[in-house]
Amino acid sequence: HKRTIFWSDREGVKTRRHYVTTSRQPSRPLFMTSERVRTRSFSPLLPLRGCVAAEIWLYLFSFLYFAIAMASAPVPIRKRLLKEEDMTKIEFETSEEVDVTPTFDTMGLREDLLRGIYAYGFEKPSAIQQRAIKQIIKGRDVIAQSQSGTGKTATFCVSVLQCLDIQVRETQALILAPTRELAGQIQKVLLALGDYMNVQCHSCIGGTNVGEDIRKLDYGQHVVAGTPGRVFDMIRRRSLRTRAIKMLVLDEADEMLNKGFKEQIYDVYRYLPPATQVCLISATLPHEILEMTNKFMTDPIRILVKRDELTLEGIKQFFVAVEREEWKFDTLCDLYDTLTITQAVIFCNTKRKVDWLTEKMREANFTVSSMHGDMPQKERESIMKEFRSGASRVLISTDVWARGLDVPQVSLIINYDLPNNRELYIHRIGRSGRYGRKGVAINFVKNDDIRILRDIEQYYSTQIDEMPMNVADLI
């Protein structure tokens, strides 16, 4: 059937149309529950439900339908990652010769950790895991960079767990992340991979009960994952003792060493033992950040993906020319009516814009959730839980959601506002197309945003085309 996307000013002075042919149902599919989808799928047979024979045929048809659907469904996400050939063929630039270890079994990992890795769903290490894990285990300072969705979190989590002495009930590894949600996600991955090791891991983040942090730390934690402010507070209170720490990991290192966090990182670092191993992990590492590492790293080995591979080939990138800010909202509503997707994230540059857009969408009877840094921690956790479970399908957020967070069902990213820097662009679009899945990024571009878009294209040697008529078929 034919769909029409249009946007114009209120007087109808400027109108633009795309005719999109798609076999999908166009009627607000983003907000359909699974029950509604199922009913709609079998709607031609519903009149037959009155007779027994028809009921039998209905159930047979249902069984065949779901059997075919399951057969064609994606491989479990983490297994899919490790079976994707291009995931292990990424080209890296290293500061010295690095051995590539093709399997977890040949990495010399402890038996109980291997059990946890395979139980988690991993079968074969990704490209960054093949190169970085052994170097970290050897005790080298490591700077590791790879695209979003290629297993960087598991890279340092496996390395940290391998280096722990479980018999010593003291903090031996400290992992710092820029957001509370990312720190919590890291804790969950550590506990899952270390399920057979009896590892103790605590998420030490702002917005939570300080007394609970103190109680957990007094109990003894092998690993602490947290945000710099709360971690430093716990160190000053002497609840987090640093004498046994032998590894510091900075996840999303470029953000951690930026102006906002840099001083806090240095404050924490001053309390660590002099011989502490340091690992920096990120999808983007600008040159100025790499130059700073000499202050607190010793002869680090660099494992960096080539810049022209950073934009993630599995993610289709498009732009929509909107000319005026006021036209963005109508464009967004028209996209909603056209696209059938699993989950989507809409990025805005400010907290005020997130609140404004959320209110506008709800006034237009769209079900959306929103998240930004000013929200109470419990509310943020509740929103994240709903979004991960699929109960919430569309999330409007600031860049608090742009880094590291992993929700594999996200297939669409909409940049309602283009990001303020080109590194953030990669982090944002990397929330879709996780583990080799398909993803689409759509950028709303005003006239004065064209320069920013061209700068992103040039920097990453990529091309962002105007949104095609058949965009619905790409998601």
For 195-210, write each residue's pLDDT tens digit: 999 999 999 998 889 9
**CATH number for 96:** 3.40.50.300
For residue 32, is pLDDT > 90? no
206 and 238 part of one domain: yes
Q: Is the pTM of this model over 0.95?
A: no
157 and 191 part of one domain: yes
Amino acid identity at 342:
T
- Last residue of one domain, picked from the residues 267, 284, 309: 309
Encode pLDDT of 127-150 as tens digits.
899 999 999 999 999 999 887 677
For residue 106, is pLDDT > 60? yes
**Residue 4 belongs to some domain of the structure:** no
In this prediction, residue 285 carries a pLDDT of 81
DSSP 3-state helix, strand, coil percentages of the chain (rounded to 5)? 45, 20, 35
Q: Give the pLDDT band (50/70/90) at residue 110.
A: very high
**Residue 416 belongs to some domain of the structure:** yes
In this prediction, residue 186 carries a pLDDT of 95
- Specify the range with the lowest mean pLDDT, choosing from 22-36, 218-232, 339-353: 22-36
In this prediction, residue 261 carries a pLDDT of 83
Mean pLDDT of 172-179: 95
Buried b (16+ CB within 10 A) or exposed e, 398-435: bbbbbbbbbbbbbbbbbbbbbbebbbbbbbbbbbbbbb
- Yes or no: say if 62 and 48 are a contact pair by the CB < 8 Å rule: no
- Last residue of one domain, picked from the residues 309, 330, 349: 309
**Residue 2 belongs to some domain of the structure:** no
Higher pLDDT pick, 201 / 402: 201
273 and 342 part of one domain: no
Number of structural domains the chain divides into: 3
**Residue 17 belongs to some domain of the structure:** no
Share of the chain above pLDDT 90, in %: 43
Strands of 142-145's sheet, edge to edge?
92-94, 301-305, 142-145, 277-282, 247-251, 173-176, 223-226, 201-204
250 and 351 part of one domain: no
Amino acid identity at 24:
R
Q: Give the pLDDT band (50/70/90) at residue 12.
A: very low
Mean pLDDT of 13-24: 38
- Specify the range with the lowest mean pLDDT, choosing from 24-28, 161-165, 173-177, 252-256: 24-28
Residue 193, SS3 per DSSP: helix
For 173, how many CA atoms within 13 A lie in the half-sphere containing its CB?
30
- Last residue of one domain, picked from the residues 309, 332, 363: 309
Rounded CA separation 55/61 (Å): 10
Q: Which residue range is the domain that position 396 belongs to?
A: 311-474
Rounded CA separation 273/246 (Å): 7
Residues pairing with 26 in the sheet: none
- Specify the range with the lowest mean pLDDT, choosing from 60-69, 285-294, 395-404: 60-69
- Specify the range with the lowest mean pLDDT, choosing from 168-182, 247-261, 263-277: 247-261
For residue 445, is pLDDT > 90? yes
For residue 27, is pLDDT > 80? no
Higher pLDDT pick, 294 / 419: 419
330 and 300 part of one domain: no
352 and 438 part of one domain: yes
For residue 320, is pLDDT > 80? yes
**Residue 367 belongs to some domain of the structure:** yes
377 and 417 part of one domain: yes
206 and 249 part of one domain: yes
248 and 389 part of one domain: no
Higher pLDDT pick, 334 / 164: 164
For residue 374, is pLDDT > 70? yes
Rounded CA separation 342/202 (Å): 32
344 and 215 part of one domain: no
**Residue 228 belongs to some domain of the structure:** yes
In this prediction, residue 78 carries a pLDDT of 40
**Residue 24 belongs to some domain of the structure:** no
Q: Give the pLDDT band (50/70/90) at residue 47.
A: very low
- CA-wise closest residue to 251 among 359, 152, 358: 152
**Residue 16 belongs to some domain of the structure:** no
402 and 343 part of one domain: yes
293 and 424 part of one domain: no
In this prediction, residue 324 carries a pLDDT of 86
Mean pLDDT of 14-42: 35
Higher pLDDT pick, 106 / 40: 106
